[in-house]
């Protein structure tokens, strides 16, 4: 194919870039290294035949909130909601439940009900305009003045560390634990700045759009994007790893790759090369999937209805385990992020469980026992339900997707510096110094998650600035 645009990598950002370019009338060729499309959206039979497991992303809150994905109005993708968005079991009291309804959630937080509504609730009430402001940190915004005021209010709390915010805003064990579990999605020491922001953003999304899953597996979203690309005349190829930009000839090249690989695959000017080399990767994850012969036997039956379950106990305990991980150690009681797809989606071939814990980059320590012990702590008898298990060390994750450097699922450390400089400090960080070449991966703003915004921004920039001839 004589392409006007070549997209390298088919993660959500690459796919959204490809579809955006194709919808603008460009002939697009998409090249994917793996044997299937989707990057972090892949689903596979990891345990037993017929059991569908999401290899990477499973919770689609960002996808549902994202202007880039919502705007595409894709056919064949159904987001299904569990009865409860998320649960946070505790040892000595009922689990904390996050409902779609902020008021109902607040009622479960006792003395912190009003504080919850004034923080996570207020961000949710600010609605899609605030999400748009957060997902398009460098514009273009359609936000009005009210949204900027809400954004500033959100920003004051968001800039804090999760530990400081939790202690200032809340008094109860329940609310503090809840925000710690949300903030820990950032894979950071919870004493670090802006970790409160990640927690608040995720909590508010639970109220605004819910924390749904894609019916049939996350792969359905990737497949729908590939189908859309092909319906627009685009071509998509798997099993094609691009090793050097010299292999590609098109006026527009959009790279859904990591900065480390961009450095290896392009002859870049020395200044940009130096700036890109400063980019830092975050810790890794140890991922597990199980085929079960029935639902997880939670001690608190209310947890059964939750799509996502945060395991790790109180704020203090989660903060300690994340601090250990950030310091390069393995917590014996790690924070575990678990998802039970069967709570929302009966089409995954039976009861399955998806979970991971955070580990130092490239760790080779087997966390199976530590993770299962945390699950047993809140669900005695869990191990008796296991028919088969599948584990992925950080190196396995990276072997399946080169963007997961050292098992880093966030595409680069989620620090304050790298919130502002991702991967370089620039008003248009998707642009590279090479004419017509753009970067769109999770290592560009707004960072990780299934929102496709990096791809959308890179494609729009490419359409605005590139001529058709290279």
Ligand X SMILES: Cc1cc2nc3c(=O)[nH]c(=O)nc-3n(C[C@H](O)[C@H](O)[C@H](O)COP(=O)(O)OP(=O)(O)OC[C@H]3O[C@@H](n4cnc5c(N)ncnc54)[C@H](O)[C@@H]3O)c2cc1C
For 142, the token pair is 């359609």
**Is residue 119 near ligand X by the rule CB under 6 A?**
no
**Is residue 20 near ligand X by the rule CB under 6 A?**
no
Min CB(266)–ligand X separation in Å: 11
Please return the burial class of 200, using the count of CB atoms within 10 Å of its CB with bins 0-12, 13-18 and 19+: buried
Q: How many residues bind ligand X (CB under 6 A)?
A: 38
Min CB(376)–ligand X separation in Å: 22
Contacting residue, 51, 99, 207, 261, with ligand X by CB under 6 A = 261
For 469, the token pair is 């001839």
Contacting residue, 331, 403, 432, 466, with ligand X by CB under 6 A = 403
The DSSP symbol for 431 reads B
**Phi and psi, residue 208, nearest 5°:** -80, -50
Min CB(42)–ligand X separation in Å: 8
Closest C-alpha to 295, from 359, 338, 357? 338
Q: In terms of CB distance, is 33 or 126 closer to ligand X?
A: 33
- In the region spanning residues 97 to 116, those forming contacts with ligand X, defined by CB under 6 A, are none
Min CB(113)–ligand X separation in Å: 28
Q: In terms of CB distance, is 119 or 410 closer to ligand X?
A: 410
Min CB(128)–ligand X separation in Å: 17
Q: In terms of CB distance, is 172 or 441 closer to ligand X?
A: 441
Closest C-alpha to 279, from 406, 182, 120, 365? 406
Chain centroid to CA 409: how far? Answer: 8
Q: Which stretch, 2-10, 92-100, 120-128, 266-274, contacts ligand X (CB under 6 A)?
A: 2-10
Contacting residue, 3, 5, 11, 80, with ligand X by CB under 6 A = 11
Contacting residue, 6, 8, 160, 252, with ligand X by CB under 6 A = 8
412 conformational bin, left if phi > 0, alpha if psi -120 to 50, beta if neither? left
For 234, the token pair is 């685009």
389 conformational bin, left if phi > 0, alpha if psi -120 to 50, beta if neither? beta
Strand-pairing partners, residue 31, are: 8, 237
Contacting residue, 23, 44, 215, 241, with ligand X by CB under 6 A = 241
Q: In terms of CB distance, is 356 or 393 closer to ligand X?
A: 356
- In the region spanning residues 286 to 315, those forming contacts with ligand X, defined by CB under 6 A, are 287
Min CB(470)–ligand X separation in Å: 19
Min CB(450)–ligand X separation in Å: 4
**Is residue 62 near ligand X by the rule CB under 6 A?**
yes
Contacting residue, 374, 415, 418, 441, with ligand X by CB under 6 A = 441
Min CB(264)–ligand X separation in Å: 9
Contacting residue, 442, 458, 459, 462, with ligand X by CB under 6 A = 442
**Is residue 33 near ligand X by the rule CB under 6 A?**
yes
144 and 206 in contact (C-beta within 8 Å)?
Answer: no
For 314, the token pair is 């109180």
Residue with tokens 């069967």: 342
**Is residue 245 near ligand X by the rule CB under 6 A?**
no
- In the region spanning residues 350 to 369, those forming contacts with ligand X, defined by CB under 6 A, are 356
Strand-pairing partners, residue 284, are: 359
**Is residue 32 near ligand X by the rule CB under 6 A?**
yes
- In the region spanning residues 174 to 233, those forming contacts with ligand X, defined by CB under 6 A, are none
- SS3 for 203? helix
The 371-400 site mask, x for binding ligand X (CB under 6 A), equals --------------------------x---
For 460, the token pair is 């729009």
Contacting residue, 21, 26, 52, 56, with ligand X by CB under 6 A = 56
**Is residue 39 near ligand X by the rule CB under 6 A?**
yes
Min CB(383)–ligand X separation in Å: 22
Contacting residue, 7, 29, 59, 80, with ligand X by CB under 6 A = 59
Q: In terms of CB distance, is 106 or 439 closer to ligand X?
A: 439
Contacting residue, 20, 43, 47, 58, with ligand X by CB under 6 A = 58
Closest C-alpha to 213, from 391, 60, 33, 9? 60
**How many other CB atoms are there within 10 angstroms of residue 70's CB atom?**
16
Half-sphere exposure (CA, 13 Å, Cβ side) for 454?
32
Closest C-alpha to 449, from 60, 24, 170? 60
The secondary element (H helix, E strand) that includes residue 79 is strand 79-80
Chain centroid to CA 201: how far? Answer: 12
Burial 320-341 (b: 16+ CB within 10 A, else e): bbbbbbbeeebbebbbbbbbbb
For 117, the token pair is 């509504």
300 conformational bin, left if phi > 0, alpha if psi -120 to 50, beta if neither? beta
State the residues that interact with ligand X by CB under 6 A: 8-14, 31-34, 39-40, 56-59, 62, 241-242, 256-257, 261, 285, 287, 356, 397, 401-404, 409, 411, 441-442, 448-450
């Amino acid at each position: 194919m004589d392409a006007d645009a070549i997209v390298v990598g088919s993660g959500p950002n690459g796919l959204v870039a490809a579809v955006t370019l194709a919808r603008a009338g460009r002939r697009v060729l998409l090249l994917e290294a793996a044997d299937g499309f989707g990057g972090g959206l892949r689903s596979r039979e990891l345990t037993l035949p017929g059991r569908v497991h999401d290899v990477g992303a499973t919770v689609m809150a960002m996808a549902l909130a994202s202007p880039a994905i919502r705007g595409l109005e894709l056919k064949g993708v159904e987001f299904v909601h569990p009865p409860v968005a998320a649960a946070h079991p505790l040892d000595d009291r009922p689990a904390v439940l996050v409902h779609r309804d902020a008021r109902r959630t607040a009622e479960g937080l006792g003395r912190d009900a009003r504080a919850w509504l004034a923080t996570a609730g207020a961000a949710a009430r600010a609605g899609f305009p605030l999400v748009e402001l957060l997902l398009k940190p460098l514009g273009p915004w359609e936000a009005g003045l009210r949204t900027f005021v809400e954004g500033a209010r959100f920003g004051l709390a968001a800039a804090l560390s999760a530990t400081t915010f939790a202690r200032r805003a809340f008094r109860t064990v329940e609310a503090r634990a809840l925000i710690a579990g949300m903030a820990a999605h950032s894979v950071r020491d919870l004493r670090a700045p802006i970790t409160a922001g990640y927690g608040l953003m995720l909590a508010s999304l639970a109220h605004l759009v819910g924390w749904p899953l894609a019916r049939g597996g996350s792969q359905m979203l990737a497949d729908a994007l590939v189908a859309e690309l092909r319906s627009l005349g685009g071509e998509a190829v798997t099993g094609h790893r691009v090793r050097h930009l010299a292999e590609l000839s098109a006026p527009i090249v959009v790279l859904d790759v990591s900065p480390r690989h961009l450095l290896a695959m392009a002859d870049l000017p020395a200044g940009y090369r130096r700036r890109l080399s400063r980019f830092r990767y975050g810790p890794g994850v140890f991922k597990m999937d199980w085929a079960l012969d029935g639902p997880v036997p939670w001690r608190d039956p209310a947890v059964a209805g939750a799509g996502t379950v945060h395991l790790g106990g109180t704020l203090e305990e989660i903060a300690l385990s994340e601090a250990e991980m950030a310091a390069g150690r393995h917590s014996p009681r790690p924070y575990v992020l678990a998802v039970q797809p069967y709570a929302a989606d009966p089409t995954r071939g039976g009861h399955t469980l998806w979970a991971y814990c955070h580990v130092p980059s490239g760790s080779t320590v087997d966390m199976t026992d530590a993770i299962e012990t945390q699950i047993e702590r809140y669900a005695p008898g869990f191990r008796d339900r296991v028919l088969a298990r599948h584990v992925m060390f950080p190196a396995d994750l990276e072997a399946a997707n080169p963007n997961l450097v050292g098992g880093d699922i966030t595409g680069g450390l989620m620090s304050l510096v790298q919130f502002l400089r991702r991967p370089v400090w620039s008003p248009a960080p998707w642009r590279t110094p090479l004419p017509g070449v753009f970067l769109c991966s999770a290592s560009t703003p707004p960072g990780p998650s299934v929102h496709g915004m990096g791809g959308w921004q890179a494609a729009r920039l490419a359409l605005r600035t590139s001529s058709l001839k290279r």
